[in-house]
Chain A
Amino acid sequence: GQQVMQIPQYQHVQEGEDFTTYCNSSTTLSNIQWYKQRPGGHPVFLIQLVKSGEVKKQKRLTFQFGEAKKNSSLHITATQTTDVGTYFCAASNYQLIWGAGTKLIIKP
């Protein structure tokens, strides 16, 4: 079946460094959503991208949808401790297909 590959699995950063996670699909996607899950919590919706080449920003978070609608990225500038958690992409075609998530870890 359709899969969405999300990389990396983990990213360790110093507070203040940037963070990026990528999602890739072998097929064209109708749209893609991004969610954040805090440790011990449930996924919470961040944003959805629908148009080819779309870029959306939420404060320090930048979301991109590729021109071919087969890939997407989430970039966080100057990470803070409040950014800790796992970030998931979810691609919507016939079903909602989830990436495995990228865990953002702030180095002590």
Chain B
Amino acid sequence: NAGVTQTPKFQVLKTGQSMTLQCAQDMNHEYMSWYRQDPGMGLRLIHYSVGAGITDQGEVPNGYNVSRSTTEDFPLRLLSAAPSQTSVYFCASSYLGPPAADTQYFGPGTRLTVL
């Protein structure tokens, strides 16, 4: 049972490049989400999904796309990278989503630098 996995661990992009951050979970969780964490700040929700085929925007969705074709996978796409997207990205999953009181399991994070 690997939990939540994320790839890559580190990535450097040039402005304007696109890329996909991968996230997978093997716990059969319905709810998955993407956060970004900037230095000294909390977690800001980018996008979330309550199940396969269903996604919605969070607090800071601009510049990012998601899809959820399977229960296990929830990739995050950066359409045209900008320096403001330099951050640490965390994927999380839980069996139930808010407002249920359900533990969020986090992946190890992807540290992205945009030059």
Contacts and interface: CB of A to CB of B under 8 A. Distances in A.
Interface string B13-40: 0000000000000000000010100001
B109 A92 contact: no
Interface residues of B, number: 25
B74 interface: no
Given A9-B40, A33-B104, A95 B58 contact: yes
Contacts of B108: 41-42
A33 B100 CA distance: 11
Interface string B54-90: 0000110000000000000000000000000000001
Size range of the chain A interface in the assembly: 20 to 34
B92 to A, nearest CB: 8
A45 to B, nearest CB: 5
Contacts of B97: 96
Interface of A: 1, 6, 9, 30-31, 33, 35, 41-45, 48, 50, 88, 90, 92-96, 98-101
5 contacts: A1-B59, A30-B101, A41-B108, A43-B106, A95-B98
Interface of B: 33, 35, 40-45, 48, 58-59, 90, 92, 97-101, 103-109
Given A43-B43, A48-B101, A93-B98, 8 more contacts: A42-B90, A42-B106, A42-B108, A42-B109, A43-B92, A90-B43, A96-B97, A98-B44
